């Protein structure tokens, strides 16, 4: 039986720089509207600049179509190990598809959700790395990595903060971002999602002007965070 903690698992932010929070478990649980694939307490982060923008420009494609993932600040940013442990699963080879900020482009994409589920974990999680914590503890995953960027392999020991790969737009992703989740097993189809908190980070609330120091907490929905 896997050793799972009674309290939320404490992990580090898997990046440096500024990122906007989406699907925070502080807003609702399950955070993504489903328990499927152990995403009960998962959280998403979208890379932004100092002005809080996810991309430097907007065009007619922003309003009506799709945009190249390379346009976005998050795309290609290093994604770091949230915990130390053993890599139990690596999945790569999923394409980084076009991004969608347009509601018109989002509608047909959302209608394809069931089809992606039938295609398997990679069609939803994209390229990802799963790390099992010490002594058979919880498994922590980072998802939607850039195709071909993963630097680690299954069975490898990694240290917290180690470069795992780069942020991408693979899998079920409407724009480049990183998805983080904890679970009580290495198979997302049978595992249960576990709550997590982040060890230390700065958080600028939605209507705030400065970053406030947080420890062993979750950030609020739509706030901006940065690693220490």
Q: Chain-centre distance of CA 76, in angstroms? A: 14
- Distance between CA atoms of residues 149 and 214, nearest Å: 31
Mean pLDDT of 194-213: 97
Instruction: Assess whether pLDDT exceeds 70 at residue 69.
Output: yes
Tally of helices (H runs) and strands (E runs) in the chain: 4, 14
Predicted pLDDT at 57: 83
Residues of the chain with pLDDT > 70, as a percent, come to: 89
What is the pLDDT confidence band of residue 118, given thresholds at 50, 70 and 90? Answer: confident
pLDDT digits (tens, 9 = 90+) for 45-58: 999 999 999 999 87
């Amino acid at each position: 039986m896997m050793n799972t903690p009674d309290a939320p698992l404490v992990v580090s932010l898997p990046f440096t720089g500024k990122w906007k929070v989406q699907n925070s478990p502080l807003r609702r649980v399950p955070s993504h509207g489903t328990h499927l694939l152990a995403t009960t307490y998962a959280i998403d982060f979208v890379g932004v600049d100092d002005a809080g923008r996810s991309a430097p420009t907007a065009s007619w494609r922003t309003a009506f179509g799709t945009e190249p993932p390379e346009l976005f600040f998050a795309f290609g940013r290093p994604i770091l190990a949230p915990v130390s442990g053993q890599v139990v699963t690596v999945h790569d080879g999923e394409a980084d598809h076009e991004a969608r900020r347009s509601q018109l482009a989002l509608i047909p994409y959302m209608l394809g959700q069931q089809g992606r589920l039938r295609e398997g974990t990679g069609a939803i999680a994209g390229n990802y790395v799963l790390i099992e914590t010490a002594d058979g503890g919880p498994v922590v995953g980072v998802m939607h990595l850039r195709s071909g960027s993963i630097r680690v392999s299954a069975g490898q020991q990694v240290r917290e903060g180690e470069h795992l790969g780069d942020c991408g737009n693979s899998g079920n992703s409407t724009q480049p971002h990183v998805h983080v989740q904890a679970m009580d097993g290495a198979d997302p189809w049978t595992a249960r999602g576990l709550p997590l908190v982040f060890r230390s980070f700065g958080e600028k609330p939605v209507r705030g002007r400065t970053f406030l120091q947080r420890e062993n907490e979750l950030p609020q929905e739509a706030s901006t965070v940065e690693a220490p």
